[in-house]
Structure 1
Amino acid sequence: MAKKQQEYGNDSIRQLKGADRVRKRPAVIFGSDGVEGCAHSIFEIISNSIDEARDGYGNRINVTLFPDHVVEVEDFGRGIPVDYNKAEQRWNWDLVFCELYAGGKYAEGGGNYDFSLGLNGLGLCATQYASEWMTADIYRDGFHYHLDFQKGENVGGLQKEEYKGRRTGSVIRWKPDTEVFTDIAVPPETFQDMLRRQAVVNDGVTLVFTDKSGKDTQKYEYLYEHGIADYANEIVGDEALTPVHFCSGAAVGRDRADQPDYQVRMNVAFAFSNTVQTLEYYHNSSWLEHGGSPDRAVRSAFVSQINAWLKSKGLYKKNESAITFSDVQDCLVLVSSSFSTRTSYENQTKKAITNKFVAQAMTEFLKHQLEVYFIEHPDEAEKACKQVLINKQSREHAEKARITIKKTMTQQMDLANRVQKFVDCRTKDASRRELYIVEGDSAMGAVKQSRDSEFQAIMPIRGKILNCLKADYARIFKSDIITDLIRVMGCGVELGGSHNKDLASFNLDNLRFNKVVICTDADVDGYQIRTLVLTMLYRLTPTLINKGYVYIAESPLYEINTKNKTYFAYTEPEKADILRRIEGEKYTIQRSKGLGENDPEMMWLTTMSPESRRLIKVLPTDAERTAQVFDLLLGDNLQGRKEHIAEHGAEYLDDLDVS
């Protein structure tokens, strides 16, 4: 039976009123109805206190997170006006807590908030509407005012009593409503990041976060006396290429000819560094996660001025291409804090601004500042600009390497045809497929006969492969063994260095196997081949190790046969334990055969069967230590290797495979 269509007529139109304007559509105001939206609702209350502090009223803001996700924001500003408003013929508390688009920011001429975090008058009311409950205690004009709200509705009106203390300010406490947000568990780390960022762009204002949500109370205090300059110094540390340079300026203009003029203030702190790279933009104290106008200005100004300096010094070769911003960004630490009396955000969550004049004013300001800076600090200019040129040349070199690798790796033929001796499995389900990397043709034959051809593929390697820690990319990718193995795995390679994200052809989604198993003999040669394969994976595809795709098939050292059963011992202690357990029985014991000598049934039991094999997952538990050991044993550190052998060689005399 066909479903009856709902009639759409004049009576179908409905308007959301009161708290429902937020409670039924929180994502419209806060950007999402999840934990990110809940965090933004909290920031709306904090931002009101910051506006007061930046305007000179109070220099401390306390934010507390209580159990059950209750939040409190306390400031020492002038206190929210909540008494009767004759001009509007309404109570101010009703306007600011229960009316969207109402507040002091709409006063004639901009009121007290020329450079405000929020200009829409939405925050306090919207957060109140999105709360399970909210209380407000306000101190001003010699009175203490108290308000209670439940699910967006006032309870009990305004309570007012004389207050003889000297303090002024507001204390807002509330619980975000789970009927509005799908998740209200805003992590303490989000509060810390939010308040630290606000301390950065509000010089001299102390922001305190007290976390009472856990077992023990934690307290964090943030203060930057010199704002973004102190913050930039904190980022670059003691090893910067150039000291932090701070500059500030102002401009007046408009976005379009038919629009009014507005003011812009600009503060920028920057330095050049070989160890860290940072770009952070703030506007009216709000962190612009996606940048917008300031980001466009920085990109244009820095590329223009550094390019001009390099040309003036004749450092470009004939027909050489100019630098790009990625070359600058690789060595730039920059923090920008701008303000404007007219702001166009991409949306209410304030992640980017779109003001045309802000971009224009900042571009001209930065070009001028950089020109003067380069003239007054020629040594610093030379260090910075030459480093950008080095970054460019490194990027171009890596790009050429990437293109060469891509050509090498890309073939139109079928995988089985283009990689000699590779034996594929039948299933195309990558979550089940296993790749066994085995040494030599004899081992290949044994593994091939004993495997489960449904999900186990085999890739033989002939002899010892190239030591990838001692070879450059050009030599590495001339090795057929290595390029064949990379083709078979299918995921490409990761190039090292700062260009890794842009230039590597690696894509984990293209990996054709769920397990990459290194399968070698349990002897000195086998261990060396295993180490060289691991070294190759460590250098070219470290993500496979980090994500747990790489395994080692552990081969038994001994085969112990009794009348009724065969035992395999993988270590000397295991051999001793087995011999204790079969004490009194007749047995024979022999060193386990190499992979190529095992019969298929034995190979299946010891190496291939998921039920009985032993696989060692290669874990990235200590990547830095692994890198050091690989470099020591397989890299160019000859002196370090000699010293290591002299100090520890005696410990391994019993394991030497010599007669």
Structure 2
Amino acid sequence: MYIGDIGIKGLHHMVYEVINNSIDESLSGFCDKIYVTIHKDNSITVLDNGRGIPVELHEKEGISALELVMTKIGAGGKFDNNSYKFSGGLHGVGISCVNALSSKLIAKIFRNGKIYVQKYSRGVPISKLEIIGDSKNQRGTQITFKADKFIFKKISYNYSILKNRLRELSFLNKGLSISLLDERKIYKTGFFKKNHFFSKKGIKEFLMFIEKNKESIIENYKSKKSRIKDFFYLKKNKKNINLELVMRYNSSYKEKIFSYVNNINTSEGGTHISGLKKALTKTFKKYFSKNRRFKKLKISGGYFIEGLTAILTIKIINPKFEGQTKNKLVNYEIIGLVEKIVKKKFNSFLEKNPLYLKKILNKVFLSAKARQAYKRVRELIKTKTSKKNNLPIKLADCSSKNPNLCELYLVEGDSAGGTAKQGRERKFQAVLPLRGKILNVEKSIKNKIFENEEIKNIFLALGVFFFKKKNIIKLNIKKIRYKKIIIMTDADIDGSHISTLVLTFFFRYMRILIEKGYIYIATPPLFLIKNYKKKIYAWNYKEREKILKKSLLKGISIQRYKGLGEMNAEQLWETTMNPINRTLRKVTIHNIKIANKIFSMLMGENVLPRKQFIETNALFAKIDN
């Protein structure tokens, strides 16, 4: 399927496919306004002020150009480079796919001074192309569609997901106005929920949005009199490629590279990212070869991107992607083009900014030493993991060896871990107690992370390890022992903090487990309300108050669980571990950039953004809820 799946990602991808057609009009200079509306019935309208899809008769097919685009895959203007120099792929693939997956679709075209309308259902025209009035000065395309309930599991759009994508598009297309309106949500003032996005500075503004919680590597060298440039910006338009790049090194050791091809988010990178990395490696190695300090260290390309945040966006003719969801660019010639452009300009930038160069080289030196220590620990974990029965001493394993059936509970503290071991179903539930708060990986360098006993135990228990392939370190999960990993902590604030620490580790170092849907969070109760006849559990204060208002029981006593250890094995089983009764929250990632930003803000070293966030949102916080 061109939209990827029939879950939440595929549903939202339908909207992106329609918006992409409007974006292509913008890329060609014909559109500067896009309006997206979520209607009460979860249908979607996308309106732009572009030229409008052609409505003239197609000579060969004998139908209108509009109907051809809406019903035939690969029938659009992007096959003709004169129509769209740069576009997101095969024009007509996306919109015809959306049409086929919609129970209803209405195309309204404002063109030639007229308003044209044609209706479709599941990809088939159910009306002729009609003129319903004069468009006066208005021009553009309006597509309204409703996803087919017989295809999609659930039809409900997440406002935040759409908002984040539209904000991203506004950064990538400076000067383009994008509006989002949600008719499902109306405020007391009578206005609908809405957002408007417009960027004057484009990807420079995008970088600052992403990096506002990060400290530059030359932060301490800035002064009021002379502001040292702490980011690199490049824009180059050539015959075969338009390239725009912005980069900044921060004080962390996490790299974040966001890449786009003709506005499409290539989340898996591709040849344009390979070109960027080659340019950085060759540029820095030139300086390293001149410095005696680095001669004994084996420096690879990976060292040069630690702490780097980069946004690379290119526009090319006829992009080729791996798969229909366009996550990875595969045009081989792009490697050399990107490398040549970036290397020349970045080398010039470093020569003009020697302090910036010095700070990066110092950071790479420390990173290289830390990586060597990390490599030794990594190899130790790999060796131990590959050996049979080399499991953590604290692990209470299950009898089943089928990872599809097995669950691993990561439990806060030895006390609760002991109770969980007693209360579990030994056939398929394993328990690994974690001693207190595990290491905050957001603030730690890699060798410290992998020397941590609790983290090593997680690796050994899961049976996963890192391996190196083509200079890229990946997580090997082929022999994973559990495909349901459940974080179980106390129901209070401290428990939430520990859950967040564990989640930060999984997000930074085992993200593939989140992406595959293996990570869950248990929801133990916070209160036990009982009398001599009956007992009821409450999971938060609000639920407790509801129970107390409804309850007619006499002689009620309320117990607040300060921790999991206060429950006995039977209570823990019936409330939190029994698959029939328990509630598990599945951990998912809807937007990698927003997730990155949140983890950096909440768990990173920079205190000010976290303080500002807490002060701003304190009134809205749900304590122990």
TM-score where L is the length of structure 1: 0.60
Letter in 2 for 1:394: A
How far off its partner does 1:159 sit?
A: 1.8
Q: CA deviation at 1:148?
A: 1.7
Where 1:361 maps in the other structure, the secondary structure is helix
Q: Secondary structure at the match of 2:215?
A: coil
Residue deviations 1:207-245 (CA, integer Å, cap 9, x gap): 111122346532122222221122112222372226221
Match of 1:336?
A: 312
Q: What's the secondary structure of 1:100's corresponding residue?
A: coil
CA shift, 1:324, in A, is 3.3
Whether the 8 Å CA contact 1:232–1:244 is kept in 2: the answer is no
Aligned counterpart in structure 2 of residue 316 of structure 1, from 294, 303, 315: 294
Cα distance change of structure 1 residues 377 and 178 upon mapping to structure 2, 3 Å threshold: same
- Further displaced range: 123-132 or 47-56: 123-132
**Structure 2 counterpart of 1:393, from 339, 349, 369:** 369
The farther-off stretch of 117-126 and 141-150 is: 117-126
Residues 1:218 and 1:389: Cα distance change in structure 2 (over 3 Å): farther
Greater CA deviation, 56-65 or 243-252? Answer: 243-252
1:369 paired to 2:342: no
In 2, the alpha carbon distance for the partners of 1:155 and 1:453 equals 57
Identity, in percent, stands at: 20
Contact 1:434/1:455, CA 8 A, preserved across alignment: no
Change (3 A) 1:488 1:197: closer
Shift of 1:402: 4.3
2:292 aligned counterpart, secondary structure: coil
Residues 1:181 and 2:181 are matched in the alignment: no
Contact 1:491 1:512 in 2 (8 A): no
Q: 2:65 aligns with which of 62, 82, 92?
A: 92
- With over 3 angstroms needed to count, the CA separation of the structure-2 counterparts of 1:414 and 1:342, relative to structure 1, is closer
How far off its partner does 1:71 sit? 0.3
Q: CA deviation at 1:308?
A: 2.0
User: How much does 1:332 deviate?
Assistant: 0.5
Q: Which residue of 1 aligns with 2:562?
A: none
Q: Structure 2: how far apart are the matches of 1:189 and 1:104?
A: 32
Does residue 213 of structure 2 align to residue 226 of structure 1? no
1:284 paired residue number: 262
C-alpha change, 1:81 and 1:467, in structure 2 (3 Å) is closer
The alignment partner of 2:41 has SS state of: helix
Residue 60 (structure 1) aligns with: 33
How far apart are the structure 2 equivalents of 1:49 and 1:466?
Answer: 52
Q: Which amino acid aligns with 1:179?
A: F
Q: State whether structure 2 residue 223 is matched by structure 1 residue 246.
A: no
Give the SS at the match of 1:213.
strand
The match for 2:168 among 197, 211, 215 is 197
Q: What does residue 283 of structure 2 align with?
A: 305
1:588 aligns to what?
Answer: none
Name which of 313, 325, 335 aligns with 1:349: 325
Change (3 A) 1:277 1:206: farther
The one-letter code of the counterpart of 1:56 is G
Moved more, 186-195 or 374-383: 186-195
- In structure 1, runs of 5+ residues without a counterpart are 1-26, 253-262, 457-464, 496-500, 518-534, 552-580, 582-605, 618-622, 628-659
Matches within 5 A, 1:456-535: 490=461, 509=481
Unaligned runs of 5+ in 2: 219-229, 428-434, 440-444, 467-472, 490-497, 507-519, 526-554, 556-565, 578-598, 604-625
State the one-letter code of the partner of 2:313: S
Q: Which residue of 2 aligns with 1:271?
A: 248
For the pair shown, which has the larger CA radius of gyration, 1 or 2? 1
- Asked if structure 2 preserves the Cα contact closer than 8 Å seen for 1:514 and 1:549, the reply is no
The one-letter amino acid paired with 2:291 is K
Return the offset for 1:186.
Answer: 3.6
Deviation at 1:403, TM superposition (A): 4.3
Deviation at 1:49, TM superposition (A): 0.8
Secondary structure of 1:77's counterpart equals coil
Q: 1:473 to 1:149 in 2, by over 3 A?
A: closer
Q: Deviations over 1:237-284 (max 9, x none)?
A: 3722262211122445xxxxxxxxxx2121111111114632111001
1:206 aligns to what?
177
Q: Distance in 2 between matches of 1:159 and 1:295?
A: 47
Q: Secondary structure at the match of 2:346?
A: helix
Q: Secondary structure of 1:393's partner?
A: helix
Structure with greater contact order relative to length (CA < 8 Å, sep ≥ 6): 2
* Change beyond 3 A, Cα 1:452–1:379: closer
Once superposed, what is the RMSD of the aligned Cα atoms? Answer: 5.5
1:168 & 1:332 partners in 2: Cα distance? Answer: 43
Q: Tell me how far apart the structure 1 counterparts of residues 123 and 201 of structure 2 sit (CA, whole Å).
A: 40
| Number of the residue aligned with 2:84 | 113
- 2:70 paired with 1:79: no
Structure-2 residue corresponding to 1:650: none
Partner of 1:69: 42
Larger mean CA deviation between 289-298 and 205-214 belongs to 205-214
Could you report, residue by residue, the CA deviation over 1:173-207 in whole angstroms, capped at 9, with x for unpaired residues? Answer: 11111234344334223212321221121111111
The code of the aligned residue for 2:105 comes to M
CA distance in structure 2 between the aligned counterparts of 1:340 and 1:476, rounded to whole angstroms = 41
Looking at structure 2, the residues matched to 399 and 612 of structure 1 have their Cα atoms a distance apart, in angstroms, of 40
- On the 8 A contact 1:489/1:512 being kept in 2, the answer is no
How many residues align structurally? 484
Question: How has the CA–CA distance of structure 1 residues 476 and 379 changed in structure 2, closer, same or farther, with 3 Å as cutoff?
Answer: closer
Instruction: Select between 404-413 and 115-124 the one with higher mean Cα deviation.
Output: 404-413
Gap change, CA 1:397 and 1:186, over 3 Å in 2: same
Structure 2: how far apart are the matches of 1:474 and 1:278? 20
Closer/same/farther in 2, CA of residues 56 and 466 from structure 1, 3 Å limit? closer
Counterpart contact for 2:385–2:460, Cα < 8 Å: no
Residue 154 of structure 1: CA displacement?
2.1
In structure 2, C-alpha distance between the alignment counterparts of 1:39 and 1:201, rounded to whole Å: 19
State the Cα distance separating 1:365 from its structure 2 match. 1.5
Structure 1 residue 106 displacement after superposition: 3.2
Of 110, 116, 132 in structure 2, the residue corresponding to residue 139 of structure 1 is 110
Quickly say closer, same or farther: Cα 1:490–1:309, change in 2 above 3 A.
same
Indicate which of 124, 134, 138 corresponds to 1:153.
Answer: 124
**TM-score, length basis structure 2:** 0.63
Query: What is the match of residue 619 of structure 2?
Result: none
1:478-531 CA distances to partner (integer Å, 9 max, x unpaired)?
Answer: 99xx89x96999569999xxxxx97999x99579999999xxxxxxxxxxxxxx
Deviations for 1:372-401, whole angstroms, at most 9, x for unmatched residues?
122121111111232122222222222334
> Compared with structure 1, are the counterparts of its residues 331 and 612 closer, same or farther at alpha carbon in structure 2 (3 Å cutoff)?
closer
Match of 1:48 in 2: 21
Q: Which amino acid aligns with 2:114?
A: F
Distance 1:549 1:34, change over 3 A: closer
* d(CA) in 2 for partners of 1:244, 1:104: 38
- The offset of 1:409, in angstroms, is 9.1
